[in-house]
Structure 1
């Protein structure tokens, strides 16, 4: 090991970056010598390796600059056998973000262990992870990776025998034995008949919150969440090799593992928990369990998950609908889910707490209009003996966009254990029927009451009693920290510009989408609707370069767009390209989230800048078509992503 990295260091110190005049120089004078010194043989290398990506036009051809394979036999140098792919750029190409994205898209097809991106002056290495985003493990300039420490790190990370051993570990003998056993079982019809006798009878049973889904090879049985809390499930299999295997998932595991990719085929690379290994086998990781499934088992498992996780997600989405909470950022209060409402200065919060204590509903001679409070350590409860209206907590910090420069308390609507809790006398009440002004208050209703009635009342009482309200309500810097535009009041739309806040949410979701590909079906209708809506735009106030370049960057012949000067011609070209993508979405099962991210940026700029004369009926229809995609984006950002980031 010592000699390896010292030899590499000596070469890196002598290597002359001034000789790199173009991309070919970077490959021939840096990449190829580097990998030869790291032990990679020419028989394991393929230059300009063709891959097929869905980018603009179905089947558009791309080439990977260099691919190093575990196999020396060219016929076996296929997806899954790749060790490292290299994307090289010119030395004067300083910004390598697009090259990184390009390498990652190639990685989705070839499934190597490592991605290398370089311009000869800078060397970046990503490690691909099966169930998470790629991990950056090396990013140094020449003067840094040519040092002894840099050369040693490069050797330990990229040396051929090291990477090959990692590849072989992922394709170990236990996997081979499993494949042979599966093939032997399938080779004998009599054994197959015996095994089939143990298949589950296909069935679905739903009683209250309990749901059981059975397919011949797999079963899920569990409890759906009440509101945003609780819920669990257990997965079992009928196959003789997996009988007795029980995989138990709690609420957090269901959200982090099962929610992404609902409704997609096992082989589409859209789910977190499953990866295709061969034509007939899949590797599944759920909770702390890893197992390999046949193609039929994988299909049955995904079918069960689609029904259970789909119902689970629908229950949580319905809860947010009923609570009117979608546009309120999610926070946490002592570990319980909460929705951010508003902020007040700390001295004013003390006056609010004093008001609540003075108007406890149990005090004699109480004012019936205001005496609805009850002491609760993080804040106070609103309600009385008939039931709870809301639980209001006050927290010191938020996980997003907290204003700085002054001390605040952030008021949140709290769901203890993720559930709206009625009083002890009415525990059996259906919480969904109890939401409203006369029962459990929704988040929106509570926010209105708090900011329009309680806080002004406290301020007025202070003045009446000869005091000054010690502070004020602070809302605007936090309530919409991520979007350029606020959501329309009460969710009503009367112009196309009000769609921008929702498109921004969708675009942010696509930017950080947590799976490698996205089902095309979820975006087909919204994409075409936004494209058609854009035809109403008055281009006189448009930033045409930004709008058209975003669409051009994800369709073929992007270099021609910049040469078109006439605004009408450029817009016609823009919509032509949009139609190409819309046609692709009709034909392909999955699509790159990055491609759609650029398209959404284009639509956002178009709707934000342009004046549009659109009938109210068309606007209503547009919102109806966009809302399911927006809710899906919000659901994953609010409930799935925080668990993936732990």
Structure 2
């Protein structure tokens, strides 16, 4: 061991820094020196700039706006990493840091961590990998949890405000927006022609609310912009030749509204005199504008209204809103979304996300006709669930029975509910298989259920589905 702080500084490069967590017996002045290196914990927010500090780690983040790209910089207080600043871009934040928030480092829920031993983790941050002690890793995760929650909030709030979740994101040549639907080229030509003829400077009728912006259509009365509609030609070699994709463009009007910091104003402004969301714009185009255009030009173009309306490719929303679900079959599309997400999820998922979900859906399908088809499928999936402490117990349930019944299946599902309540994390593979079972029973069984049971299932489903929706839309495209 070095006899002085100076000798320590010379010797440090060959030292296993993981021992620094327990410094009391190393040198009388060493603990004091290292303690002085710690940062002062704090959280600072100034507009889109967020700085989160823990004793061992500090992260400064530029949060994204209007689905744009943010970034962050990570620094460590350790004298070993003094001067090291790791920069992460939007891609790194989403693909590496966003998964497994609010979970302990050792639970294998965070893809950027690999535990080496009890007191050491290999941490992959962007293109840089460092070895951190357990304390440093914990502080890093605490900072990441704060930063990524705000990062996620920025993305979610924008999509909520513009009602864009059900629409495909579009980005090309500096233009960002959402794909609303597609029409034939000749119908788009008439839409554009109508907008040109009814420019707001040419008259004061109810339909004089357009202004041309190059090849796009600006819906506006000159005082307030409602929406920006952009045409995008489909691939010439695709099956949708001569189709025009209608794009709802994210324009400066959206950025200006966000800058005012009044999120509630989005909903308040929707309508004829305000800013239109993507959902509102899509409905207006399909239900009002396109029928008006077709009616206006039908005789001139010698085209029948029904002929043009058939050419509109409507993209219907696949799911009944959760709050409006009363039929158990309407839960199936949401479960399929969750199952798809679990199928590609990292190794483990926080058990807290699954406890109420397992219980609510087990109770919901409990009173299923025992003659349900595919009992073998249900039991084989239950056998595939990898358990830890209860592995032998569940194995005895499935292997010793010569005849499998639905009662057996419910017994196994009840044991899964009990098990998840005593776990901190669950293998994504297990949750995937259990979700497949719920889907099968709902789609193939004759189920007796109460309104209270379906309401409880909806309540348990919503946070899990929203988590899956966010990660499938914003995280996994970057992985």
Q: Residue 243 of structure 2: which of 408, 411, 424 is its match?
A: 408
Distance 1:574 1:335 in 2: 54
Hey, what does 2:416 align to over in structure 1?
581
In structure 1, the partner of 2:339 is 507
Q: Equivalent residue of 1:277, what SS?
A: strand
Give the alignment partner of residue 598 of structure 1, picking from 422, 433, 436. Answer: 433
Are residue 537 (structure 1) and residue 375 (structure 2) matched?
Answer: no
Q: CA deviation at 1:527?
A: 1.7
Superposed, which structure 2 residues align to 1:215-294 within 5 Å? 215-294=54-133
* RMSD between superposed Cα atoms in Å: 3.1
Offset, 1:184: 9.8
The CA distance in 2 between the partners of 1:235 and 1:499, in whole Å, is 42
What is the CA–CA distance in structure 1 between the aligned matches of 2:134 and 2:44, rounded to whole Å? 25
1:373 corresponds to which of 199, 205, 210: 210
Which of 620, 623, 631 is matched with 2:455 structurally? 620
2:293 counterpart of 1:462: no
Superimposed CA distance per residue, residues 279-311 of structure 1 (whole angstroms, 9 cap, x where no aligned partner): 222222222333221111110010010111012
Equivalent pairs, count: 452
SS in 1 for 2:319: coil
Q: Deviations over 1:456-501 (max 9, x none)?
A: 222222214343267444446x656xxxxx2116862121111111
Q: Does 1:382 pair with 2:219?
A: yes
Instruction: Give the whole-Å Cα distance in 2 for the aligned partners of 1:642 and 1:427.
Output: 28
> For 1:184-210, what per-residue CA distance to the aligned partner results, in whole angstroms no more than 9, with x for missing partners?
983335212111112111222334433
Tell me the distance in 2 between the aligned counterparts of 1:314 and 1:332: 21
Alignment match, 2:328: 496
State the alpha-carbon separation in 1 of the partners of residues 167 and 451 from structure 2: 26
CA distance in 1, matches of 2:149, 2:227: 29
Unpaired segments of 5 or more residues in structure 2? 1-11, 386-393
Q: CA deviation at 1:413?
A: 2.4
What's the secondary structure of 1:421's corresponding residue? helix
Matched, 1:308 2:147: yes
SS of the equivalent of 2:29 reads: helix
SS, match of residue 79 in structure 2: coil
| Structure-1 separation of matches of 2:420 and 2:312 | 44
Q: Is the 8 A contact 1:341 1:479 kept in 2?
A: no
Contact 1:333 1:393 in 2 (8 A): no
- Residue 110 of structure 2 aligns to a residue whose secondary structure is coil
Question: Which position in structure 2 is the counterpart of 1:357?
Answer: 196
8 Å contact kept, 1:420–1:431: no
**Does the Cα contact within 8 Å between 1:388 and 1:421 map onto a contact in 2?**
no
Counterpart in the other structure of 1:546? 377
Indicate the structure whose relative CO is greater, using CA pairs within 8 Å and at least 6 residues apart.
Answer: 2
Counterpart of 2:347 in structure 1 is: 516
Q: Could you tell me how far apart the structure 2 residues matched to 1:447 and 1:403 are?
A: 24
Cα separation, partners in 2 of 1:444 and 1:428, compared to 1, 3 Å = same
346 and 597 in structure 1: CA distance in 2 versus 1, 3 angstrom threshold: same
**Cα 1:181–1:463 shift into 2, 3 Å:** closer
Task: State the match for 1:121 in structure 2.
Answer: none
- Aligned: 1:526 with 2:357: yes
Tell me the residue number matched to 2:5. Answer: none
- Residues 331 and 337, structure 1, Cα contact 8 Å, conserved in 2: yes
Sort the Cα spacing of 1:522 and 1:427 in 2 relative to 1 into closer, same or farther, 3 A.
closer
In structure 2, the CA distance between the partners of 1:403 and 1:572, relative to structure 1 (3 Å rule), is farther
Distance 2:285 2:344 in 1: 34
Report how far residue 328 of structure 1 moved.
2.7
User: TM-score by structure 2 length?
Assistant: 0.84
| 2:443 corresponding residue in structure 1 | 608
1:231 CA drift (Å)? 2.8
TM-score (norm 1): 0.64
The Cα of 1:412 is off from its aligned counterpart by 2.9
Aligned to 1:179: 16
Q: Residue 391 of structure 2 aligns with which residue? A: none
Post-superposition offset of 1:181: 7.7
Aligned equivalents of 1:490 and 1:180: distance in 2?
A: 51
Distance 1:474-1:334 versus aligned 2 partners, 3 A rule: farther
1:389–1:324 Cα change, 3 Å: same
Asked whether the equivalents of residues 213 and 308 of structure 1 are also in contact (C-alpha less than 8 Å), the reply is: yes
- CA distance in structure 1 between the partners assigned to 2:219 and 2:395 by the alignment: 59
Give me the whole-angstrom Cα distance separating, in 2, the residues matched to 1:581 and 1:181: 38
Alpha carbons of 1:556 and 1:355: their partners in 2 closer, same or farther (altered >3 Å)?
Answer: farther
Unmatched segments (≥5 aa) in structure 1: 1-174, 481-485
**For the Cα contact (< 8 Å) 1:389–1:441, is it kept in 2?**
yes
For the structure 1 residues 191 and 546, does the alpha-carbon distance in structure 2 shift closer, same or farther, using more than 3 Å as the test?
A: same
Q: By how many angstroms is 1:431 displaced?
A: 5.3
CA distance in 2, matches of 1:321, 1:272: 27
SS in 2 for 1:459: helix
1:340-397 Cα shifts (integer Å, max 9, x gaps): 3222122212222222222233x22242x22322334563232333333223233345
* 2:232 is the alignment partner of 1:395: yes
- The DSSP-based 3-state class of the residue aligned with 2:16 is helix
Q: Which residue of 2 aligns with 1:421?
A: 255
Contact 2:91 2:478 survives alignment (8 Å)? yes
Q: Which moved more, 1:194-203 or 1:295-304?
A: 194-203
Partner Cα distance (1:615, 1:185) in 2: 57
For residue 578 of structure 1, give the secondary structure of its aligned residue in structure 2.
helix
